[in-house]
Chains A and B, each alone.
Chain A
Amino acid sequence: MEVPFHLPAGSTSLRRVHNKATMSSGATGAVQPADEPPTEARPTVITAENLTKTYGDVAAVDGISFSVPAGESFGLLGPNGAGKSTTMKMIGGVTRRTSGALHIMGLDPDSHGPEVRAHLGVVPQQDNLDEELRVRDNLLVYGRYFGLPMSYLKPKADELLEFAQLTDKAKSKVDALSGGMKRRLTIARSLINEPRILLLDEPTTGLDPQARHILWDRLFRLKEQGVTLILTTHYMDEAEQLCDRLIVVDKGRIMAEGSPAQLIREHSTREVVELRFGSERNTTIASELQGIGERLEVLPDRVLIYAHDGESALEQVASRGLRPLTSLVRRSSLEDVFLRLTGRSLVD
């Protein structure tokens, strides 16, 4: 079996990943992990105020404000086209904002692009590896862009190739890598300058499960060293596990902000009942379900009932003489928050 990212012996951080996962997937029990210092005590590394970006008439980012303290792992969630990548690009100073204020380590990326980016490691949504160079040269040359000396870069590149399990591909052409390997190389490349802030735009898209876990482990260890992580993802489990705090963005605006547990508490109920009636009947049956639970959501393939007590909600459904094809009671997750805040077909 190929393990895509190297897992160092004796790593304890993976256990932490799992601890945290169990903690936050329960709707009620999640609190900030005890070993993290309170956010107020740390200096702020990113502040955005009324950040706006328009393309023609389209407001890709429409006046969002947030700030990120050093060492925090901060997530941006939102549906396709919400403006997450655009926000990331503005932070990196590769897209100019239309209006608003933005400071990274106290610097404005528009006027101090090189200085700002000297602190950043970036994994863009789309890989932009140098297809004309070989795998290892990609790392070396990228490091040169930061003005780093070869004496530093050579061992560093080898270490990162090892981490990305690409050591035996060091001399291959980038073209010859698989999609997931390219992703791993892009991630390795983002670490070449030992950045203090990592911008990760859907970093795990296309990675196999092992690679994903090993990346998570690396990210946790970087966080322990005080690196700030800015992350977007469409995997809600990933967001729950990795992010201390997140914002849910839709149509360029912030819909909600908080820790995963907070968001679940505020925007969802403790439990959810999932019912499938067959594609034709889901919509028509919704009216007959009115009044059960606290809220009802009709998705194309199923109906969700948000309730404090799922079992009793399910009993009410049965007592009304409705027979779903399948039913399931589960804890609320970030996915429910996401659907609630950004869903297009809400029946409240």
Chain B
Amino acid sequence: MSAGLPVKSAPDQARSRTFGPLYSRNARAVISRGLLATRSTNWLVMLSGFFEPVLFLISMGVGLGAIVGSVQGPGGGEISYAAYIAPALLAVSAMNGAVYDSTWNVFFKMNFAKLYQGMLYTSLGPLDVALGEIFLALLRGLLYAMGFTAVMGVMGLITTPWALLMVPASVLIAFGFASIGMGITSFLKTFQQMDWVNFVMLPMFLFSATFYPLSVYPQPIQWLIQAMPLWHGVELLRQISVGAFTAATPVHIGHYLVMTAAGMLLTTLRLRQLFLK
């Protein structure tokens, strides 16, 4: 053993670095652990996350689309019902994945798998863990978004090159939700409280102009929906999918930039509550 060596051994070097109270600039280690862990996860389970929005698209787009016919798209032109809901489903899937990864997943690894307890007994700080986990969630979101966009292409729902920008845009959406989600998880203590997350998600999914235009609602309800983050994501992706941009486009993007920044701030402020009890 080399612990007593006077020259700087690897452990000595690792020990003599200096950091802030929360961050040891080593989120990389958390990321590489996550990638290594995917080796042992069931690949079918990974894949299944991608199938969910695709199934919705086929069912609602084809089945219901046969009855509804075409609807008015963002640019004012008529588009098929499938083309109308596809970007919305992508936004929903970005939201679901990010929220799942930053709430349930974090909660489980914290309280049941005791994974973070192990990590936090090392020189990692809580911010390393948070950044690593968010990065992994976004990576997965990126893969799903590419897959879904490809399916849209195969179904003939992509008519403009602009549509490829849906991929980075949905990563942005996921970033917004993941950073807020992790901050919120720091307030939750039991599984029952975790259920509340679902109670917020379900109406957001159903009401955010996913399956039908906002115009079916009376004006005050429209304002309410427009205040919900998912609606901005749905609108943004819908505009991108047909390449029809308006003055609202930067507002949608800005909404997510602010949400990400606010979420990261909240998460950082709450890191001690989240990881150090």
Contacts and interface: CB of A to CB of B under 8 A. Distances in A.
User: Does B associate with A?
Assistant: yes
A239 to B, nearest CB: 23
Contacts of A129: 118
A119 B12 CA distance: 9
A195 B113 CA distance: 25
Interface string A90-102: 0011111000000
Interface string B233-259: 000000000000000000000000000
Contacts of B275: 94
A126 B113 CA distance: 11
Given A94-B120, A95-B277, A128-B114, A226 B33 contact: no
Contacts of A94: 117, 120-121, 275-276
Most chain A beta-carbon neighbours within 10 Å: one of B32, B36, B123, B276:
B123
Contacts of A111: 21
A129 B117 CA distance: 9
Interface string A137-148: 100011011111
Contacts of B29: 141, 144-145, 147
B13 to A, nearest CB: 8
State which size class the interface on A falls in. Answer: 35 or more
B77 interface: no
A111 B9 CA distance: 26
Contacts of A114: 19-21, 23-24, 123-125
A103 B134 CA distance: 32
B276 A147 contact: no
Interface string B15-56: 101111111101011101100110011000000000000000
Contacts of A118: 14-15, 17, 122-123
Nearest to A120: B121
A130 B26 contact: no
Given A145-B26, A147-B14, A115 B123 contact: yes
Contacts of A226: 4
A149 interface: yes
A115 B115 CA distance: 20
Contacts of B121: 92, 94, 117, 120, 122, 124
B3 interface: yes
A227 interface: yes
B26 to A, nearest CB: 5
B150 to A, nearest CB: 29
A50 to B, nearest CB: 20
B118 A130 contact: yes
A222 B1 CA distance: 10
Contacts of B113: 128, 131-132
A137 B17 contact: no
Contacts of B2: 194
A133 interface: yes
Contact of B33 (A92, A126, A128, A130): A130
B119 interface: yes
A77 B122 CA distance: 25
Contacts, number: 127
Contacts of A202: none
Given A95-B276, A112-B21, A118-B14, A132 B41 contact: yes
A137 B121 CA distance: 17
Given A147-B17, A147-B24, A117 B36 contact: no
B10 A152 contact: yes
Contact of A128 (B10, B37, B117): B117
A148 B14 contact: yes
A93 B276 contact: yes
B15 A119 contact: yes
A93 B30 CA distance: 19
A194 B1 contact: yes
Interface in A172-228: 173, 193-196, 222, 225-227
Nearest to B5: A194
A25 B99 CA distance: 58
A142 B115 contact: no
A151 B115 CA distance: 25
A113 interface: yes
Contacts of B277: 95-96
Nearest to B34: A132
B14 A128 contact: no
B114 A142 contact: no
A110 interface: yes
Nearest to B41: A132
Nearest to A116: B123
A282 B4 CA distance: 55
Contacts of A110: 21
A193 B14 contact: yes
Given A117-B124, A132-B41, A142-B122, 8 more contacts: A95-B276, A95-B277, A112-B21, A114-B20, A114-B23, A117-B121, A144-B29, A194-B1
Interface of A: 92-96, 110-115, 117-120, 122, 124, 126, 128-134, 137, 141-142, 144-149, 151-152, 173, 193-196, 222, 225-227
18 contacts: A92-B121, A113-B276, A114-B23, A115-B18, A115-B19, A124-B117, A128-B113, A128-B118, A132-B37, A133-B37, A134-B40, A145-B33, A145-B123, A145-B124, A147-B14, A147-B17, A194-B2, A194-B9
